[in-house]
Amino acid sequence: MPETEEPDLGLINSTVVIGAGLLGASIGAALTRAGVTVHLTDAVFSHARVAASLGAGTVDKPDPAAVRLVVVATPPRSLAAVIGEALDKYPNAAVTDVGSVKSRVLHQLQSTGRDLSRYLGSHPMAGSQHSGPMSASPDLFVDRTWAVTPHRQVSEPTADRVRLLIQVCGARYTAFTPEDHDRAVAQVSHLPQLVSVLMADHLLGIPSGHLELAGQGLRDVTRIAGSDPDLWEQIIAGNVDALRPELEDVRTRLDELIDALDDPAHKVRAFLQRGVNGTRQIPGKHGAPAMDYAQIVIELPDTPGALAQLFRDFADAGVNVEDIQIQHDLVRQVGYLAVSVEPGHLRDVQEAMRAAGWRLV
């Protein structure tokens, strides 16, 4: 289905979401906003009720025969059983899951001997270090990649409904084999998670006074280490084989880096440049090649409405804000807003903001 065509929401109306946590409630909220009727269920009923109160759907039970799509968003260990039950309970529905690892679940389902033509696994590459419906957002998936992992039995109507789900959530569709998917997420998701954990764990051994000097760099590197250990233990357990060589590679490079300290000008420098090159490999918005944005830093007075005024001034200048970061200066009671813009617009933005009375740092 071309992306520009008006989606036929009837294909996925109604949808059942099983597991109304961060992912399930976010999907429910995105579908509800688009006009799809979403029925939320959860092993902990209060999670479904909270998700419903936040606009992610209803806790009313659907007519099982009328359900067109089921999205399973429960923790990894439960996925195969819950998907299997959903295939049995909703005979006319396509069933997908959003689990972070794909091969193991597929093999578990195949070993039950079920007809899997109505099952297609998927994985939105969007989330957060926070769990549960309270952190959900209908915009969680906008412009993010969402992979499907087809297998031999998937029927076309099933694939169409899952593609429509991804489109309605505003995500970018892509397809991988389950095995390739698992190798890829070991590299781009599971390894970064464990490296972040290693860094955060290291903080437990340093004097607490030193942490007063923690700035944004440390927070950037450790954000995802704050994620739910119960969830991540299950993700890692499902992808050990793909993850082990990645961690071994990091161990080798760590040894090389320690040796490089003998020659900062050449060897450390080479490492640092490889880091820059690595960040350039990460695709930018909409999967396009990454762009190095230019940044301006603006002093923001600690007064009501200052941020809103600043954004109005950006809009008046016709500038697209690509990213923002805020730092607070607790001593001077001001904030510093680092705004990323396309490099070609830098000079114009600087002039427009100065003309509007802002102090550039």
Ligand X SMILES: NC(=O)c1ccc[n+]([C@@H]2O[C@H](COP(=O)([O-])OP(=O)(O)OC[C@H]3O[C@@H](n4cnc5c(N)ncnc54)[C@H](O)[C@@H]3O)[C@@H](O)[C@H]2O)c1
Ligand Y SMILES: O=C(O)C(=O)C[C@]1(C(=O)O)C=C[C@@H](O)C=C1
CB of residue 320 to ligand X, shortest distance in Å: 27
Q: 98 touches which of ligand X, ligand Y, none (CB within 5 to 8 A by kind)? A: ligand X
For residue 238, the partner it binds in ligand X, ligand Y, none, with Cβ less than 5 to 8 A by kind, is: none
Between 185 and 349, name the residue whose CB sits nearer to ligand Y.
185
- Closest distance between ligand X and the C-beta of residue 57, in Å? 13
- Which of 320, 311, 360 minimizes the C-alpha distance to 336? 360
Is residue 42 close enough to count as binding ligand X by CB under 6 A?
Answer: yes
Per-residue contact flags (x/-) with ligand Y for residues 205 to 224, judged by CB under 6 A: -------------------x
Least separation, in Å, of the C-beta of 231 and ligand X? Answer: 6
Q: How far is the CB of 168 from ligand X (least distance, A)?
A: 17
Of the pair 23, 116, the CB lying nearest ligand Y is at: 23
Q: Is-contact 341 293, C-beta < 8 A?
A: yes
Answer for the pair 93, 16: CB distance below 8 angstroms, yes or no. yes
- Which one of 7, 132, 170, 301 is in contact with ligand X (CB under 6 A)? 132
| Binding residue (CB under 6 A) for ligand Y from 100, 103, 149, 239 | 100
Cβ–Cβ < 8 Å for 39, 57:
yes
Q: Is 128 in the site for ligand X (CB under 6 A)?
A: yes
Select from 18-26, 190-198, 327-335, 337-345 the region that touches ligand X (CB under 6 A).
18-26
Q: How far is the CB of 132 from ligand Y (least distance, A)?
A: 14
Q: Which residue has the tokens 């091969």?
A: 103
| Region near ligand X per CB under 6 A, out of 37-45, 109-117, 156-164, 198-206 | 37-45
- Site residue total, ligand X (CB under 6 A): 27
x/- string (CB under 6 A) for ligand X, residues 224-263?
A: -------x---x----------------------------
Q: How far is the CB of 154 from ligand Y (least distance, A)?
A: 21
The interface mask with ligand Y, positions 111-140, x = CB under 6 A, is --------------xxxxx-----------
Site residues for ligand X, 84-103, by CB under 6 A, read: 98-100
Given the rule CB under 6 A, which residues bind ligand Y? Answer: 100, 125-129, 189, 224
